Amino acid sequence: MTLFDGPVSFLQVSAYVGFGGVTIAICAAFVRVVVGPSMPDRVLALDLIGLLSVSLIGLYAIASGESLFLDAAIALALISFLGTVAFSRFIEWRGEEPDA
Amino acid sequence: MNSLILRSATQLLLTILLLFSFFLMLRGHDLPGGGFIGGLVAAAAVALYAIAFGYRAAQAMLRISPRALVGWGLLAAVASGFLALLQGQAFLTGQWWIVELGGGAELKLSSPLLFDIGVYLVVVGTILTMLFALEER
């Protein structure tokens, strides 16, 4: 698949610029997951990766013109929220430990 | 977990998640979706409720044991296969009933739909059985 088929529209360029930005953001959030001094930092970074994945799917839906991908984005947005809640519950249950 | 924000949000999200799970299940016949993913979303909805209000409240909301859900789901899935046998066709052949609703609209009921509902119930029941077993420890 070539990057642009036919005349290049502004929307396509915006979508591809967005892909680059979101990918960089996911890499930065991943660094925070690995480095993150404390557990809450890692949980927040994972939540951020979930949100960025939702935006990546949304961008892909725009770039490919398939509205079906938006349903995947809805599902991921609803479920990644649950993951964050479960992690925060785990932190609460484990008690106040600075690092582990 | 005693959080007012989570409780208020859960009451809204539970409805959205369950509605979305039904939507996924019903759409699954020829578009992405289906009983399995719909069941997972519904199980996630109940899991969220269990985290916010405690697993006993979630069990009380379900009104039926998750294991019973597995049984009913398997019964529905197997029964959908026998419907074809009654028509003299091979086991699990799709059967369609088209109900005229008037005004040109028609409701297409099918044995694959019954099978999908069975899968949905089995998935919800299995995930919730595991979840409640973990919570009881």
Q: Using an 8 Å Cβ cutoff, are A38 and A100 in contact?
A: no
Instruction: For residue range A38-59, list pLDDT tens digits in order.
Output: 888 999 999 999 999 999 999 9
Enumerate the residues of chain A whose CB falls inside 8 A of the CB of residue B37.
75
* Residue B73 C-alpha, separation from nearest chain A C-alpha, in angstroms: 23
What is the residue extent of each domain of chain B?
Answer: 4-136
**Could you give the ipTM of this predicted complex?**
0.70
pLDDT at A5: 61
Using pLDDT thresholds of 50, 70 and 90, give the confidence band for residue A6. low
Instruction: For residue range A21-41, list pLDDT tens digits in order.
Output: 999 999 999 999 999 888 889
- The type of residue at B5 is I
Residue ranges for chain B with pLDDT beneath 50: none
B130: contact with A, CB 8 A cutoff:
no
Sign of the Cα torsion A45, A47, A51, A57 reads positive
Long-range contacts of A71-75 (CB under 8 A, 24+ apart): A71/B24, A71/B32, A71/B33, A72/B32, A74/B20, A75/B20, A75/B24, A75/B37, A75/B41
More confident residue, A100 or B42: B42
Choose among B33, B41, B51: nearest Cβ to A85. Answer: B51
pLDDT at A4: 57
* Residue A65 C-alpha, separation from nearest chain B C-alpha, in angstroms: 16
pLDDT at A3: 57
pLDDT at A78: 85
